[in-house]
Every structure is written in structure tokens, then in C-alpha cells.
Structure 1
Amino acid sequence: MTAEAYKAINWNRIDDMIDKLTWEKLVEQFWTDTRIPLSNDLSDWNTLPLNEREMIAKVFGGLTLLDTLQSQDGIEALKKSSRTQHEEAVYNNIEFMESMHAKSYSAIFSTLNTKAEIDEIFEWTHSNPMLQKKAQIINGIYQDGTDLQKKVASVLLESFLFYSGFYAPLYYLGNSKLTNVAEIIKLILRDESVHGTYIGYKFQVGYNQLDETEQEELKNWAYDLLFRLYENEIEYTSHLYDDIGWTDSVGIFLRYNANKALQNLGFDPLFPDTAQDVDPIIMNGISTGTSNHDFFSQVGNGYLVGMVESMDDSDYEKWMS
């Protein structure tokens, strides 16, 4: 009996052009945390009140946990339903960058915090009930959900759950503080914009092949999941920001991004909050451009492709048309 031939991936024959476009976008955006001069933020860090430094440490600890979840379990779960070799290759790229994101937070910790403080941060991430709850909800779907449910969970993680943590560095950026730390966050935001859009697109491809009854059941399940995560996220946000006085403003930002996650899935918004309701300092910071335009120049002009902008709404609309 002749064994089935092993197939080499052929990028000259593409079934879905979105795979090729996304691969190219992700490669153009490649970056590493070692190219950002984080130590330049130490003077800002040392002037912050203790409660703000503790809040920032928890914020980045939480983000580390979520990126670890996405890199170790999330993308691996999505790869199992890849329709083509090209789609799997894109997921491989996303998986690596999620690991880069998780590592980048450790680069921030090693610059701003003592070893004892870092140990405390990671102990907090392992014991905080709200943080652990959202990780367990998402990972439970990665382990036991259907292929389309896994994509819903991934989009909600990429496009919604990260943003309670992103708020703080964007706020400091808007006030000209911790600008290099915020530069890393903007690079991560740029990646997550592509990840959420791409995985949402792949969800829609599968969703559109379901009959009306199946679509309605899955849509209701997705909204129920979002609301369950939102209730926990509001509690988590309160834990992080009550002492600083930012909880209400962060809540608006969360609801705005929850609607963006639904948009990525092709669903209608759930909340009334729009970009006009979000603090303009945060909306200015969420722009996916970066300021350190020459930070790759030391290692050759080929890395300058990392300066390109991420996919925006016009790209998304072009894909969907």
C-alpha cells in the first residue's frame, strides 16, 4: 500500500487570498522587545505614586497571563480547524507573536521592578480570582468547544479582554509618561488588530455555511459568552482601578472594544458606547502607528518594514465585500 504523499506548502497557489495578505501584514509588522529603550522610562516610573506603580504591575501581570494562554493553548486550538496549509502558516505566525507579547511584559518588569516585586506580580496573576476566571472560561472553550466557538473565544480575548490592561499605558502615553512602555503596547495593539480581524474573518467563513437555526444558536451563545466575560471584566477592572479613580472610564473603553470584537465576528454591537464616549486621550493613543520609527535600523534596512501600519476598518470592509 502506497503512503499518501506529503504535501509541501505552495504559496503560488492560494485558496483564500486573505491568508496571503495577512501573512504579509504580520511579517511587515515584526518587532522585538529588545529594540525598545525601556530604561528611558525609569525617571517617569520613579515619580509615580506607589498605588499607580502597583496598578501598572498588576495590569501587565494580567496581560502576560492572557498572552501566555493565547500562545500556549489558543492558537494551537485554532490550528486544528485550519482549512489550508496557508491558514495554518498564518496561525503559526500569530502564535509566535503572542509569545513575543508575553515576553515583552517580562522585559518591562525587569526594567522597572525588583526581583522580589516581579515574584509578587506573578504570584498575584496565579491567585487573582477574576483574572483566573476569565482565563479558565476561555481555555475551557479552547479545550472542549466547537471549532467556531473556539474562534469566538479567541476574538473576544484578542479584541476585548486585553483592553482593560491596555488602558493604563495608553493613558500615561497621552500624558507624556512611560512613552517607551507605551510603545510596546502600541506594537502589541497593532498585532492584535490583525489577529482579531483575521480570526473573526475565519469565523465568518464557517458561520456563513451554517443553516439559520445553527447560526441563531451560535450567535446567542456568543452574546451570552460576551456578557459572562463582561460581568467578570467589570469586577476585574474595579479591582485594578478603583483606587486610582479610573474605573468608570475604563468601563466605557471596555464596552467600546466589546462592540469592536462583535464587529470582527460580523455581529451587531451590544453596548451603546462609541468612540466618541471614550476618553480622547485613550483614542489618540490607540492609534496603531508607532513613534520609534527607526528602532529597527541598527539591524539592517530589512527590518524597517516593521514600521507599516496595521489593518484598519477599511481593510476589514474590503475583505468583507
Structure 2
Amino acid sequence: MALRVEAHRALAETFDSAADADRRAWHLATISAGPDEHVAAMLADSAERVRARGGFAAMAAACERAATLSPDPEHRGRRLLAAADAGRLDDAGDQAARAADFITDPVALARVASVRATVADEQHRPRSAHRILTDAGLAADGNPGTAGYLLFRAVDSAIVAGDLAFVHETAERTAQRPEGRRALALARMATGFGSEASDEIADGVRALRELIDITEREVGALKLRETALVPSWYWALGDDVGGLELADRLVQHCREQGAIGVLPLALCALSRFESSVGRQYDALGRLTEADATRHFPVHQRRRPATPHRWMLYEPHRGTHQRRAGATSRR
């Protein structure tokens, strides 16, 4: 054992150039027997360099080891969260739960909730994702932007689950909160499109248009994952041309940003619109590419198969257009 320690120490001293900083950090981490912030910080820096190269598995390993060596609880929690965000789905839930034990910052805790919800969604547990996101959103009083994002995702998870009772529950809990405006509009839309009552359907269409208007005004402030939901709204309106243009732009945007996890959602939306306008061959190609991008880190993942969202809109798809046409003929 002593010889092994000496060997790692000697190798660490050998790798003294900036180009070998990652190797040096790992050799020092291997022989660290207890908390050591200097080595932990070196590993955290290494993780950032690896992330820039797209090595997410290596980044997750470096962050988890850095967390183990971190004497400061807050640093330990943040590094565990980074490991969960970058690592394998099977490990992320446990890492995020451990991170929550050390983190006190509300924004970081919201990220913990987001990771846990993404894991639940990927494991086909949208109801669990809904509960995690709702609780975190209601607790994020000091950060309206974060609260609004979490509550919006909570309603969407309820829609994906096909559970309008959860949609109504979230709407009731967010009705008096300014940051819940978008979540409430999404809930109204889901309620309307899931109803047979003409007044509720009409309110659902109004809410849908409100959401599209809000999105167009706030597009710079929205997360890409939120924007990826918008094509389904155009589908609900029966606007295949507008939806096709938007989905195509979204796919290009994902490619430019390297947002590989949101890309499958955008590709599936584009495929649906291409199929609707008769471009079946292109649509099949999009689905094939979407399927090929399934195995990515947690922070990049968003399960593309969300049929309940699109199926909810299907019965009344284009209702407003048909009614407008009927009115014009009178």
C-alpha cells in the first residue's frame, strides 16, 4: 500500500504542466485519505474541463470524488449535484438526494428538485415528478423565476401522466401566486382540451393563445426545455405550418447549443408536423435520430415519448379554426 501511495505521488509530481492537470488531480485524489479542499478543487476544475470536451461520465466521476474530499458541506452538496446532473440515470437520483442533505441555497435546491424530477420522468414516473416539482416550486418563494419554472414543469408532468386531477390540484395551489401565471394558463389549457363542455374548450383555447403570447414575449428568459413544449400547442391549434416552422427552428437551435437531451423532443415534434403535411420519409428520419439520442446524461435528457400531451389536444385539435369557419359561412 505504501508503495502504491508513493507511486501515485511520484506520478502527480511528474504531471506538473497545465496540459496534465487532470492526471495530476486524479493521482492526488487517489491517495487522499480524508477531506482535502485543495485536491477537491483541482478535481472540480478538471470536471469543468472534461465537460467542455463532452466527457460527461468522466465529469460525473470527478465531481463525485471531489464531493467526497470536500470538507465544506455546501461545496460537497454542490459537487454531488453536479455529479447527478452529468452522470448516469441509475446514479443520479441517489446523488441528488445526498446533495439535498448538504445544500441550503434555495436556487441550488431547486436544481436538486429538477434533477430528481427528470430522473422520475425518465423512469416513467410522471406523478412522482409532479409532486417533486410542485413542492419545490411552492417552496421557492424567494426566487419567482425559479418557482415559475418548477410549477410550469409540474403541470406539464401531470399532463404527461394523463392525470387532470393533478393538473387541477396544481392550478388551485398556484392560482394566487404571480410566478404561477404560466403554470395556471397551462392548467387551464389542459382542462379545456380535456373537456367536452364548450365553455371550457373555449377557455382552453384562450389559455393556449395566452401561453403562446407569453412565450413569444419571454423567449429569451425561457429555458430551452420549456420552449420545446410549444410545438404541441401549435398542434392543438391545428396550425401545422406554424408548428412545422417552429419545430424546425427548435431543432436547429438544439444543434447549435449542443442541447442533445432536448433535441429528441424537438425531433419528435418536427416528425409529427412533417408527417401531417405529407413528408413521411423525413418524419421517419427524425424519429430514427431521436431514438439514437436516448443514452445521454441526466441534464441533457427529456423523454421524447410524451403521448398524453399530444393525445389530450387531439379531440379538439383545430376546434377554433372550424368554429371560425362556421361563423364566416353564416
TM-score w.r.t. structure 1 length? 0.31
